[in-house]
Amino acid sequence: MVAGSGTGNMDSPVQAAGERSGESWLSGSLLVIICFGIVVRLWLMHAAHATEEDFYITLRYVENLATGHGFVYNQGEQVLGVTTPLYAILLAGFARVGLDPLLWSKLIGIAADACTALIVCRIGRNLGRPGAGLAAAGLVMISPTNLIWATKGMEVGIVAAVVAAVWCLWIEKREIAAWTLVAILLLLRIDGAALAVVMLVATIVRERRLPMRGVAVFTLVVAPWMLYAAHTYGSPLPLSVSAKLMVYGKLIPGRFPQLRAFIGLMLHNPIGLVCIPGCLFCFVLLLSEIVRSVRPRELAILPALVWMGIYYSGMALSHVVLFGWYFVPPTPILYLGGCVGIAMAANAVKLKLPELRQERARAGIAALTIAFGAVTVPRCAATLIEGQRVERQLRIPIGMWMREHALPTETLMLEPIGYIGYYSRMRILDVIGLISPEALPSYRADVPSPDHDLWRRLRPDWLLLRAGQMKALTAYESHLPLADRLNTGYRLANKWSDPARRDHGVDFYLYRRLR
């Protein structure tokens, strides 16, 4: 499908007459691709009923805000642990008027992917590469990364759509609109700040001026939330950002410990194997054009590629766990840059490709999209169904058991605070510190066992440990006096195993503090 973006005269720079006549074919092919993508997403949503663990963290903020208890996770505790405040506020609005925020989060995610496909196709036309734009739209609609995360409730599909829209508007030199969306991006995810910086530098380089009007609009949009968060929580920066950096830096030691895993995840399927080299081709070829003082239309995508490189480098070189949804926001640029790069490379080496009529080539891209989707969709469905089985048969029952056997005012300390925290309705102490700043001192360099230090300092009413945590804690405490061990102050109250993997032993151990 990607190779098709450079097929025949579809992406030839000399196509002024053909573009107008082929516009209806482009729109028709794009419509087929988007409709196919929407249908398979709706089917995946119905077949799997899958929701990501971390969405339930956001959902507690949503429900507390909608019911008048404040923008908090634990009622009465002013902690900004949600990383997507604008998305949570939007869903709280739905909840306030009686609409199901979980359902609407998924419908919004599906709609966002459709918008992303439209936008990358438009960018392709702006770059003089309409075929590459259409191919990138196809990848948005059938790539497993986008398919899976469009139906799990997370905000990243919206983030990807806004990212694509920002670069589209920047390429079209629509300053006010571009900076307005950058402000929205920052409120959706704090890491949108990196895109704002790259776009600012790119504007200065391109136009030899500061985008004062755009920056003013950006400030006006962002300032109210920043002031509110600084006043209410002490900082506009979510606690989860600093907590992840501190905690994972302690738990995952070494230099660039995630680099190998990151490379493997980026290259584990044909899309990555094609698009990553394509982006590199695009970047190198554009730099060579700059050296030769040539300014092709494709040059406009260069800042977006730089931002994508910064985003992915941050993931690859940090200690933070590589959660799947982290990969979604740059995907529109990855697909588009890959398709444009391959088309440019084919032109650069004067590769003789068969001449195809524009409408036939575009129809071919749509057909390849559907054919590839026929392969990826069943695999995505299997992944979603299995992941949700674990939640349905393991974590949700734990949360429901806690709700029946513990008081809402009692404290439960654990790491997977999404499903279990939501269904238990208890006051939660998060061992990672995403919503619990009091947990973070346990990850100082001089603390040998964070899990031991956590229960000793915070003394929760209930303590839920994963099997790995239990093993490490038991090994550490075996060298301590009996009075300092967990079993002295707590008793084992319950334990749970994954019903489909009982041969792997216990997954969770629950302890209750002795009175």
Residue whose token pair is 């609109």: 177
List 494's β-bridge partners, or say none: 510
Whether residue 311 contacts residue 194, with contact meaning beta carbons closer than 8 Å, is answered with: yes
* Nearest CA among 252, 182, 170, 190 for reference residue 219: 182
- In terms of Cα–Cα distance, which of 409, 319, 332 is closest to 136? 332
Q: Give the pTM.
A: 0.92
In tens digits, what is the pLDDT along the chain, a chain of 515 residues? Answer: 433 333 344 454 434 334 444 455 568 899 999 999 999 999 999 999 999 999 999 999 999 999 999 999 999 999 999 999 999 999 999 999 999 999 999 999 999 999 999 999 999 999 999 999 999 999 999 999 999 999 999 999 999 999 999 999 999 999 999 999 999 999 999 999 999 999 999 999 999 999 999 999 999 999 999 999 999 999 999 999 999 999 999 999 999 999 999 999 999 889 999 999 999 999 999 999 898 887 889 999 999 999 999 999 999 999 999 999 999 999 999 999 999 999 998 887 776 555 556 677 888 899 999 999 999 999 999 999 999 999 999 999 999 999 999 998 999 999 999 999 999 999 999 999 999 999 999 999 999 999 999 999 999 999 999 999 999 999 999 999 999 999 999 999 999 999 988 778 999 999 999 97
pLDDT in the model for residue 292: 85
For 442, the token pair is 């346990």
In angstroms, the CA 255 to CA 258 distance is: 9
Alpha-carbon span 358 to 29, nearest angstrom: 11
Query: In whole angstroms, what is the distance from residue 266 CA to residue 260 CA?
Result: 10
Measured CA to CA, the distance from residue 390 to residue 404 in angstroms comes to 21
Q: Identify the CA nearest to 459 among candidates 514, 405, 416.
A: 514
Query: Residue 234 and residue 230: Cα distance in Å, rounded?
Result: 5
Q: What does the pLDDT read at residue 258? A: 94
How far apart, in Å, are the Cα atoms of 442 and each of 277, 414, 416, 448?
43, 14, 18, 9
Closest to 195 (Cα-Cα) out of 230, 223, 160: 160
Give the three-state DSSP class for 466: strand
The structural domains of the chain, with segments of one domain joined by +, span 3-386, 406-513
Which residues are bridge partners to 414 per DSSP?
Answer: 430
CA distance 360 to 367: 10
Q: Are strands 490-496 and 508-513 parallel, antiparallel or unpaired?
A: antiparallel
